[in-house]
Every structure is written in structure tokens, then in C-alpha cells.
Structure 1
Amino acid sequence: MNHDHGMEGMAPPPQLTNGTSGMHQHKMMMMMHMTFFWGKNAEILFSGWPGMRAGMYALALIFVFVLAFLVEWLSHSRLIKPGSSNVSAGLVQTFLHAMRVGLAYLVMLAVMSFNGGVFLMAVAGHTLGFLLFGSRVFKKNTEVLSYDKTSDLPPMSC
């Protein structure tokens, strides 16, 4: 009578170099937060960064703020000169789009650290960037407010 319940031919769990099975590996790994938390001890974008020092955490918050701000600047900027050839304008537009998407993904990954300070700085960066470059606050009344006319790139959509 066979009592292995269909387990024949299956390899045993891999052994680690120290002789323990894969089931004990989790003791060596750091836990990742899956809910928002407050504090400077977070990993943002890179393993071990910003570390345990408050100054590096503040630098990380400034970095996330600047990334979010740059996303808004790129979203509302006019960097292509009128009269440019379609090929050169299209290449510049494609490069700007790639930069905006890359920066937006970096902001998203930073927010996925679930650190409350990182989240607030990302929102603040997007907010200030939109206030300065996308809102009516600093526009003349005669300027057209259509996003098709005020930016080289179309609006981002999720």
C-alpha cells in the first residue's frame, strides 16, 4: 500500500548553506510594513536607505518631494519650440514622456514604503507643482487654460 499521497518523485526542500531548510529562512529577513506607519526607520526606494539617521530620512523626504514636483513640472511644461520639425519635436516629446513616467513610478514606489511622511511629501510635491505650473493662480486671464495648449505632454491617466 502506497502512503505517500502522490508525493513520489518530488524533491525535498532545498537546503541552505548553513544546513537549515527553507522554512527557517524567514528569521533572517526584515519585515515590510503593509500599513501606514510613522517614523524615520524606513526603507525608501533602495535597500538600507535612508538608514537609521534622522538626517538621511529628511533627505529622503526632500528627494520624494522633488520627484513629485518634477512630475508636475514635466506635466505642465512647454519645452518644445514652436516651428520645430515633427521628428525632433516627437523625439523630445517621447523623451519627456519617458522622464515623467519614470519619475512618477519612482514616487509611487517610494509611497509603497507605507511611511506616512513619504506619503505626505509626495502629495505636497504634487500639490505645490500643480499650484505653480498647472493652476490658474499664476496665469494671466488671457491665457488659454486648455491642457492641450499649455503642455507638450497630454495629461497623465491611470
Structure 2
Amino acid sequence: MKTLETLLAAMAELLIKLEATLAQEQQLLSAGQVNAPLLHRTTETKDEQLSTLQHMNHQRQFLEQETGLQAPYESDAGLQADWEIILNHTRALQQRNQRNGLLLDVHLKLNQRGLSTMSEQRSLSRMYDPAGHASAQALLGPKFSV
């Protein structure tokens, strides 16, 4: 039983670290200009933390089978309190992660809009030759086939 208590405490501690990582990610995504290398490192850290958390959760499930206890641990007040802490952190992390997803979506749309604008500019620049004269294709207008 002591091992389950220790594991739940370690999970709660890791969730606090994950919360700090998501806060850093949010700060980076909220900046006018995204620091891509730092965002990449932050994302890698988040992925490592989530992987560790998943491993810990598998250990928890194994210990539950061994001990016959099951979350939310209603028969043990200490474990139940630890589990509530984990659930509260998880809910907060879910909300923060959703906000970060929205921020990331905004950046992706802005980048897509910028690429579209550049593509349009490139097609417009074909109307002129390198000397700045109207190209023959632009003078003839669009081609139609009958």
C-alpha cells in the first residue's frame, strides 16, 4: 500500500511539472514571434513527461490489481485525497492544453495565410519579365478553349 501512495505522490509531482511546461508552451505561443527552437524543446519535454506519466499510470493499474484497491480509493482516505489531487491537476492541464491547441491553430492559420499571399504574389510577378516589361502572356490575357 505504501508503494501506491508513493506512486500517486510521484504522479502528482510530475503533473505539477507538466503544468509548468504547458505554461511555458502557452507563453511561447502567445508571443508575437514564436521562438521555434525553444518551442520544439518545450514540446519534447512535454512529450517525455506525458510518456513518463503514462508509464506511472500503468504501474498504478498493476498495483491496484495486486492490492485489490481501485481508484477513487473510497476505502482509504489518504489514497482518495491523493487521487483527488491528481484529478484536479489533470482537469487544469486539459484546459491549458486546449488553450494551447487554439493558440497553435491561430499560428497555423496565419502561416497558411502568409503562404497563400506569397503564392499569389509569385503568380502576379509572372506578369512582368525580369526587365519589368509586361510579359507576352499577360498582354494576351487568359486563354480560353472552345
TM range (shorter): 0.3 to 0.5
TM-score, normalised by the number of residues in structure 1 = 0.39
Q: Could you say which structure has the higher helix fraction? A: 2
TM-score, normalised by the number of residues in structure 2 = 0.41
Decide which structure has the larger Cα Rg and report it.
2
